[in-house]
Amino acid sequence: MTTTISSSPALLAVDGLGIQVNGRHLLRDIAFTLQPGEALALVGESGAGKSLLAQAIMGNLPPALKATGSITIEGTTTRADDAAARRALWGRRLALLPQEPSLALNPLTRLAPQLAEVHALLHGQGWPQAKGLAQAQLAAAGLGEATQHYPWQLSGGMAQRAVAAITLAGGAQVLMVDEPTKGLDAHWRDRTIDLFRGVLAAGGCLLTITHDLAVAQALGGKVIVLREGQVVEHGDIATVATRPSHPFTRQLLAADPARWDAFAAPTPGDTVVRARGIAKSYGGRSLFAAMDLDLHAGERIAVQGPSGTGKSTLGNVLLGLLVPDTGSVQRAPQLRPHAFQKLYQDPVSSFAPHASLAQSLRDAARLHGHAWAAVLQRLQQLRIPESLLARRPEQVSGGELQRIALARVLLAQPALLFADEPTSRLDPITQQEALGVLLAAVRETGAALMLVTHDEHIAAAVGTRTLDFSANARAAMPRAPAAAGVLHNAAP
């Protein structure tokens, strides 16, 4: 059923929105209104239902979930469970930047044609003009050299920017963005925020799902704090951020990584990996060159730098997943075959899509000789209920899947763990808890940890050394790293 209310100035109004599955409430009685130029941030614990709320507004909830309440877009009201009634608005008037870019991009189509399709199909541009617009917009997003790449050839941050460009190209006035700055360095985070400000300045409205309260404050407007599917606090973001009224909001703010104390420094042990003169290029572009690096048992190296500069590629070379163009990598010969592990930036792509999470974890436990009780104990430490394990990977939140991936990789008891943005989908409270579990595990086993993060505060709290991939660091620092302190890769 559709009702038109022509006098309503709101671009988006949500009234009594709830989501249930098998009689269990995932979201309860959510209501808000957004006028032209208004922004609303949704913050809260991982798995609280934030992404489900956006999917319900779009009308693309999984079939097993039932929505109640109503959605009003530009004066037209539809039942929340009438997904078909809003489908015609997709892209043109209603758009969602999803949390997982790997699921949003077509893996079999190059990047520029995917963006050009938006201009051709939504705006009626001729194909030559659509291609030209796509090239220009990708260049503005720092992807000018990647226009003919396939999605699987992009770094996580590059894919995030690509999906943002495609989403914004539709020109929808009602824009929802789900964790839009995860995997982005400070430069591109700020550029992305400016793009969203442009949507507001043009008379659109913005619903932002984020764990980064600094992003919410930069966008301004209102905030809703969710916990266990219910609103625990709402109001102006400036007021809530400085004078929170609910204990959970205060806990969320107190857990900001900027307020963390540094984790205790370990005592480095024997060499686990030794790299000499390693270099790697991709698509004719040098990512890193003539790098020397020693990794010792127990130490923690924070890896930082802009998106697409080779951080993940370095990990793949050190783990033996890629062969360096030049140089050599030696791994301690006494280590087990599974001693080198990677915690992937995109957790969805690291799980078998059609297997239950329980099956994936049971397979890993069997491979590494662990009892199922030990798996459940680790999940309990990470606040993952056993009931989630009956689901497939796409049926849990990004933050829940990220923690399950952490539990799985720790079953291998790695000697070297390359953790690529392992907490990027987690709220600050869960970030701190998950990293505490991770560091306790590597301390117990004496593993070396390489942690890729764009959060300078997490890097400072966790890392005992820092490997900096920024252009200034590469240009200024020597080729060979010191045995301790700050490591730098050499300039190409």
CATH of residue 12: 3.40.50.300
Tens digit of pLDDT for each residue in 330-370? 999 889 889 999 999 888 889 999 999 999 999 999 999 99
Q: How far apart are CA 237 and CA 393, in angstroms?
A: 33
Tell me, yes or no, whether 259 lies in a domain: no
pTM of the model: 0.86
Query: Count of domains in the chain?
Result: 2
Question: Above 80 in pLDDT, residue 3?
Answer: no
Q: Are residues 360 and 464 in the same domain?
A: yes
Q: Are residues 298 and 440 in the same domain?
A: yes
Q: Are residues 388 and 322 in the same domain?
A: yes
**Residue that finishes a domain, picked among 206, 223, 252:** 252
Question: Above 90 in pLDDT, residue 54?
Answer: yes
Tell me, yes or no, whether 20 lies in a domain: yes
Question: Above 70 in pLDDT, residue 421?
Answer: yes
Please give the structure tokens belonging to residue 429: 């409270």
Q: Are residues 129 and 222 in the same domain?
A: yes
Please give the structure tokens belonging to residue 396: 């849990």
Nearest to 97 by CA among 169, 183, 163: 163
Tens digit of pLDDT for each residue in 57-66? 999 998 889 9
Q: Are residues 93 and 204 in the same domain?
A: yes
Q: How far apart are CA 485 and CA 98, in angstroms?
A: 39
Mean pLDDT score, 185-209: 94
pLDDT at residue 100, as a whole number: 84
Largest CA distance in the chain: 74
Mean pLDDT score, 42-54: 92
The residues with which 78 forms a beta bridge, in sequence order, are 2, 71
Q: Are residues 132 and 167 in the same domain?
A: yes
Higher pLDDT, 100 or 110: 110
Q: Are residues 287 and 321 in the same domain?
A: yes
* Region of residue 422 (left: phi > 0; alpha: psi -120 to 50; beta: else): alpha
pLDDT at residue 19, as a whole number: 96
Tell me, yes or no, whether 266 lies in a domain: no
Mean pLDDT score, 108-127: 94
CB distance 8 to 189 below 8 Å: no
Q: Which domain holds residue 183?
A: 2-252
Tell me, yes or no, whether 264 lies in a domain: no
Tens digit of pLDDT for each residue in 306-340? 887 889 999 999 999 999 999 999 999 889 889 99
Tell me, yes or no, whether 172 lies in a domain: yes
Higher pLDDT, 64 or 248: 248
Q: How far apart are CA 467 and CA 198, in angstroms?
A: 35
pLDDT at residue 81, as a whole number: 94
In which band, very low, low, confident or very high, does the pLDDT at 155 lie, cut at 50, 70 and 90?
Answer: confident
Mean pLDDT score, 442-446: 91
pLDDT at residue 101, as a whole number: 84
Question: Above 80 in pLDDT, residue 135?
Answer: yes
In which band, very low, low, confident or very high, does the pLDDT at 471 lie, cut at 50, 70 and 90?
Answer: low
Mean pLDDT score, 404-418: 95
pLDDT at residue 491, as a whole number: 30
pLDDT at residue 477, as a whole number: 32
Q: Are residues 153 and 284 in the same domain?
A: no
In the chain, the percentage of residues whose pLDDT exceeds 90 is 75
Q: Collapsing DSSP states into helix, strand and coil, what is residue 272?
A: strand
C-alpha distances in angstroms, 417 versus 78, 264, 297, 382? 49, 18, 11, 18
Tell me, yes or no, whether 280 lies in a domain: yes
